[in-house]
Structure 1
Amino acid sequence: MRAVRLSVVTAAATAAALAAVTGCTEKSDAKNGDAIQVTAADSTCDTSVKSVPAGQVTLKIENKGSKATEVEILFPDDRIVSEKENIGPGTKYTLTAEVKAGAYEIACRPGMKGLGVRQKLTVTGGKVAKRDPRLDKAVAAYREYAQEQADATIPRVQTFADAIKAGDLEAAKKTFAPSRVGWETTEPI
């Protein structure tokens, strides 16, 4: 009986935590006049304004390209403030985030690859967020580590995929576990 109660409590706590976390990027009812209009295409990322006041910022995104795209609000060092992935061609989405005064970029990533097409965004008013250089260093080190893991994983995944395509079940079995190592070492974080 205790295990069941614990599971219910754990599930309720998890649901509450997820609701709190996703509140930063949920769809908003902002009126078009209050929002930054973002038009993403295969090689462009147009924004209706280049400067907004600090506080809640709303992006009204429309993908006019032929590929799924990702739109991100980024700090100058590429840390993500908020993002929305898999915005299909012809699809619209509203993204909200809380931002402090400072310099940011809005990035559209057609095909969800590369650094994307970027537009500068200046947020004015309020106080500029104080940065802790120790945290910036830790984020940069982790980013480098995650990239190293991805770079080492891709050839292993390709070897596994090639074995599957060739119908070589024994080679696929042998290469499956090594193809997951890079993902498994970074995924829990």
Structure 2
Amino acid sequence: MRAVRLSVVTAAATAAAVAAVTGCTEKSDASSDDHVVEVTATDSKCEVSKKEFPAGHVQLDVTNKGSKVTEVYLLFPDDRIVTERENIGPGTRQKVTAEVKAGAYRIACKPGMKGQGIRQDVTVTGGGTAAKRDPRLDAAVAAYRQYAQEQADATLPKAKVFADAVKAGDIEGAKKAYATSRIGW
């Protein structure tokens, strides 16, 4: 029982640390008009207010004027996701901010959250300023990554015991292994 309590306490402490340092980050420069791209999504269109904007932090200000829930993505030309916002309901607005370097990108709206979406090519110009990394955030992420790995390392062998018992038809063995196979998560 102590391991369960310790895991919960560790998870709560890590979440609190991440929340605390997140409040300390710098505000982005995306609120300037140069860095705001208005995206109007409908069931058949994805309109962007500008096809060219400067590098740095960019804010997509998305309005869904369609009848379906939509998603909006900022993509590299090879379809890797730079940033995304999902579950934008009809008649609602959402904002998403990303840091982008000069180059070619695509903005995609996915009405009904299906398929490849309706795409608009956009160009990011200039060198732009890269966001400064906060070492406290890096430390919080590293601590959480270590915690998650430790939990996985401790849980997976116990889950295997449970799964092996189920596969073998050993119901009593599976019952005995079930609770301990869930300790980390």
TM-score by length of 2: 0.57
Give 1:30 shift. 2.7
Partner of residue 51, structure 2: 50
Q: What residue number does 1:79 align with? A: 80
* Residues 32 and 60, structure 1, Cα contact 8 Å, conserved in 2: no
Coordinate RMSD, CA, aligned: 2.8
Q: Give the match's secondary structure for 2:115.
A: coil
For 1:8 and 1:17, the matched residues in 2 are separated by: 14
Q: Distance in 2 between matches of 1:20 and 1:78?
A: 31
Secondary structure at 2:122 match in 1: strand
Structure 1 residues 18 and 77: CA distance shift in structure 2, 3 A? farther
Counterpart of 1:117? 118
Superposed displacement of residue 121, structure 1: 1.1
Size of the alignment, in residue pairs? 121
Q: 1:68 Cα shift?
A: 0.4
TM-score (norm 1): 0.56
Match of 1:91 in 2: 92
Measure the CA separation in 1 of the matches of 2:81 and 2:103.
Answer: 14
Q: For residue 13 of structure 1, give the secondary structure of its aligned residue in structure 2.
A: helix
Q: Shift of residue 32 of structure 1?
A: 5.9
Distance 1:15 1:70 in 2: 30
Distance 1:43 1:97, change over 3 A: same
Tell me, yes or no, if the aligned pair for 2:88 and 2:94 is still in contact at 8 Å. Answer: yes
Residues in 1 aligned to 2:61 and 2:121: alpha-carbon distance in whole angstroms: 16
CA deviation digits over 1:111-134, x for unaligned, max 9?
Answer: 00011111111111128xxxxxxx
* Structure 1 portions without partners, runs of 5+: 22-27, 128-189
CA offset at residue 12 of structure 1?
A: 2.3
1:140-159 to 2 correspondences below 5 Å: none
Residue 61 of structure 1 aligns to a residue in which SS?
strand
Q: Secondary structure at the match of 1:115?
A: coil
CA offsets 1:121-168 (integer angstroms, 9 cap, x no match) = 1111128xxxxxxxxxxxxxxxxxxxxxxxxxxxxxxxxxxxxxxxxx
Pair member with larger Rg: 2
CA distance in 2, matches of 1:105, 1:67: 21
Question: Shift of residue 58 of structure 1?
Answer: 0.3
Q: State the structure with bigger RCO (CA 8 A, min sep 6), 1 or 2.
A: 2
Tell me the amino acid that sits aligned with residue 63 of structure 1.
N
Deviation at 1:10, TM superposition (A): 2.6
Where do 5+ consecutive residues of structure 2 fail to align? 23-28, 129-185
Q: Deviations over 1:72-126 (max 9, x none)?
A: 0001111111001110100001110111111100000000001111111111112
Question: SS at the partner of 2:43?
Answer: coil
Between the aligned partners of 2:17 and 2:85, the Cα distance in structure 1 is: 21
